[in-house]
Structure 1
Amino acid sequence: MVSPHLKSLSDLEAGDLGVVRQLRGGHEFTGRLAAMGFTPGVEISLARNDGRGPILVIARGTRVALGRGEAARILVELVAKSVDPDQAREMSAAAMPGDKPLVVALAGQPNAGKSTVFNLLTGLSQHVGNWPGKTVEQKIGFHHAERITLKLVDLPGTYSLTANSLEERIARDFILREQPDLVVVIANAASLDRHLYLLSELLALPAPVVLGLNMMDVAEQQGIQIDARALETALGLPVVPMVASRAQGVRELVQVIEKVASQQPRPAPNRPEIRRDHKAVLEQVRYLLAGHVPAPYPPDWVALKLLEGDAEITKMIHARVDAAAWEPVHNILKAHEDAVLAIAGGRYAWIERIVRAAVTRPRIGQITLTERLDRAATHPVWGMLILLGILGTAFGLTFSVGVPLQRSLDAYVVQAFAGWAHTALSGAPWWLSGLLVDGIWAGAGMVLTFVPVLAIFFAVLGVLEDTGYMARAAYVTDRYMHLMGLHGKSFLPLCLGLGCNVPGVLCTRTIESPRARLLTILLAPLVPCAARLAVLAVLAPIFFGSSAIWAALGVLTLNLLLLVGLGYGLHELVLGGEHVAFIMELPLYHRPNGRTIGLSVWQHLLEFVKKAGTIIVAMSALIWLLSYLPTGDFQTGYLAHAGRWLTPLGNLLGLDWRMFVALLTSVVAKENTLATLSILYPNATAEGGLTAALAHAITPAAALAFLVIQMTFIPCVATVAAIKQETRSWKWTLFSVALMLAASLTIGMLVYRVGLLF
Structure 2
Amino acid sequence: MRDNNIKVLIAGIPNCGKSTIVSELSGVTIRIANYPGTTVSINRVEYNINGIKVSIIDLPGTYSLRANMVDESVAAREILRGDYDGIIVVGSALDPEQTLYLLIQVLELGKPVILVLNMMDLASRRGFQYDIEGLSKALGIPVLPTVAAKGAGLSKLKNMIIKIYELGQGNTHIINYGKLEKYIETLSNTLGISRGLAIEVISDNPVAKEIIGSLLNNDYVRQLIESARREIEDVSSYVAAMRWNVVRSLINRFVIKSGKPSFSKYDELFMNPKYGPIISILLLLFVVAETIFLALEPLVDLLSTALNSLPINDVVGYYVTNELIRSLIIDGVWNGISTLIDFIPYVFGVALLIAFIEDSGLIVRISFPIERWLRRVGIPSRGLIYLIAGSGCNVPAITATKAMPNIRDRVLTALMIPYIPCTARFVIISLIAAAVLPHLMGLVVVLPYAVALIGVIIISSFSKVHLKFIGGKAPYSYTLPPLVLPLHKAFIKKVWHYTYEFISRAGALIVIFIIVMWFLSISGPSGVIGPKALDNPVLLRQTWLSIIGNALSPLLSQIGIPWQFSAALVYGYIFKEVVLSTLALMYGVEEGGLIHAVKSFISLPSAIALIVFTTFYSPCIATLITEKQVVGLRLTVINTILQFLVALGLAYMAYHMALIASRLFV
The residue aligned with 2:380 is 487
2:638 aligned residue (721, 731, 735): 735
Distance in 1, matches of 2:48 and 2:411, equals: 39
The aligned counterpart of 2:61 is 157
- The aligned counterpart of 2:575 is 669
Q: Give CA deviations for 1:396-432 in whole Å, capped at 9, x if unaligned.
A: 3323332222122212125525433553366212x32
396, 407, 419: which is aligned to 2:290? 396
Q: 2:236 corresponds to which residue?
A: 340
CA contact (8 A) 1:684 1:692 kept: no
1:538–1:738 Cα change, 3 Å: same
Are residue 465 (structure 1) and residue 361 (structure 2) matched?
Answer: no
SS of residue in 1 equivalent to 2:486: coil
Of the three residues 260, 263, 269, the one matched with 2:171 is 269
1:602-625 Cα offsets, whole Å, 9 max, x none, are: 211111112222221122112222
2:587 to 666, 677, 681: 681
Asked whether the 8 Å contact 1:144–1:150 carries over to 2, the reply is: yes
Which residue in 2 is equivalent to 1:640? 546
CA 1:415/1:573 → structure 2, altered by over 3 Å: closer, same or farther? farther
Amino acid aligned to 2:60: P
Equivalent residues of 2:571, 2:582 under 8 A apart: yes
Greater mean alpha carbon deviation, residues 641-650 or residues 575-584: 575-584
The one of 537, 554, 574 equivalent to 2:467 is 574
Change (3 A) 1:321 1:214: closer
1:716 is displaced (CA, Å) by 0.7
Question: CA deviation digits over 1:118-162, x for unaligned, max 9?
Answer: 222222432233334432222222344468553322222211112
- Alignment partner, residue 521 of structure 2: 627
How do residues 140-289 of structure 1 correspond to structure 2 at under 5 angstroms? 140-145=44-49, 148-177=52-81, 179-258=83-162, 261-262=165-166, 266=168, 268-269=170-171, 271-275=173-177, 279-284=178-183, 286-287=185-186
**Alignment match of 1:376 (pick from 260, 266, 269):** 269
Report the RMSD for the aligned CA atoms in angstroms: 2.7
Cα distance, 1:551 vs structure 2: 5.3
Residue in 2 that maps onto 1:706: 610
Q: Residue 469 of structure 1 aligns to which amino acid in structure 2?
A: L
Note the residue ranges of structure 1 that are not aligned, 5 or more in a row. 1-97
Structure ranking higher in helix proportion? 2
Residue 513 (structure 1) shift: 4.3
Equivalent residue in structure 2 for 1:476, among 364, 369, 374: 369
Q: Deviations over 1:79-133 (max 9, x none)?
A: xxxxxxxxxxxxxxxxxxx961333322211122222222222224322333344
With over 3 angstroms needed to count, the CA separation of the structure-2 counterparts of 1:387 and 1:582, relative to structure 1, is same
Q: Distance in 2 between matches of 1:590 and 1:666?
A: 42
Looking at structure 2, the residues matched to 744 and 143 of structure 1 have their Cα atoms a distance apart, in angstroms, of 49
Q: What does residue 19 of structure 1 align with?
A: none
Partner in structure 2 of residue 441 of structure 1: 334
Match of 2:504 in 1: 610
- Secondary structure of the 2:88 match is strand
Quick check: 2:288–2:389 contact (8 Å CA) kept in 1?
A: no
Identity over aligned pairs, percent: 26
Gaps of at least 5 residues in structure 2 are: 534-539
Measure the CA separation in 2 of the matches of 1:496 and 1:384. Answer: 19
Q: 2:200 aligns with which of 298, 301, 305?
A: 305
| Cα shift at 1:178 | 5.5
Distance 1:419-1:167 versus aligned 2 partners, 3 A rule: same
- Determine the C-alpha separation between the residues in 1 that align with 2:274 and 2:396: 27
2:230 and 2:581 map into 1 onto residues whose CA distance is: 68
Choose 206-215 or 631-640, whichever is displaced more. 631-640
Decide whether aligned partners of structure 1 residues 658 and 118 sit closer, same or farther in structure 2, where only a CA change above 3 A counts.
Answer: same
Q: 1:692 to 1:316 in 2, by over 3 A?
A: closer
Q: Is the 8 A contact 1:145 1:254 kept in 2?
A: no
Provide closer, same or farther for how the CA distance between residues 321 and 253 of structure 1 changes in structure 2, counting only shifts above 3 A.
Answer: closer
* TM-score relative to the length of structure 1: 0.79
Q: In 2, are the aligned partners of 1:197 and 1:351 still within 8 Å (CA)?
A: yes
SS of 1:376's partner is helix
Report how far residue 202 of structure 1 moved.
Answer: 0.6
Equivalent residue number for residue 561 of structure 1: 454
Give the structure-2-normalised TM-score.
Answer: 0.90
Q: d(CA) in 2 for partners of 1:125 and 1:645?
A: 48
For this pair of structures, how many residues does the alignment match?
645
Contact 1:140 1:151 in 2 (8 A): yes
Confirm or deny: 8 A CA contact 1:113 1:214 kept in the other structure: yes
What is the Cα deviation at residue 201 of structure 1?
A: 0.6
Q: Is the 8 A contact 2:288 2:388 kept in 1?
A: no
Partner of 1:416: 310
SS at match of 2:90: strand
CA distance in 2, matches of 1:606, 1:663: 31
Deviations 1:429-456 (A, max 9, x none): 2x32222211222122111100011111
Q: Which moved more, 1:123-132 or 1:618-627?
A: 123-132
Secondary structure in 1 aligned to 2:33?
strand
Matches within 5 A, 1:83-94: none
Question: Distance between the aligned counterparts of 1:415 and 1:713, measured in 2?
Answer: 33
User: Which of the residues 125, 135, 142 maps onto 2:39?
Assistant: 135
CA distance in 2, matches of 1:484, 1:464: 23
1:545 aligns with 2:438: yes
Q: Is the 8 A contact 2:113 2:141 kept in 1?
A: yes
Distance across 2 between alignment mates of 1:572 and 1:330: 35
Identify the residue that residue 330 of structure 1 maps to in structure 2: 226
Preserved CA contact (<8 Å) 2:81 2:211:
no
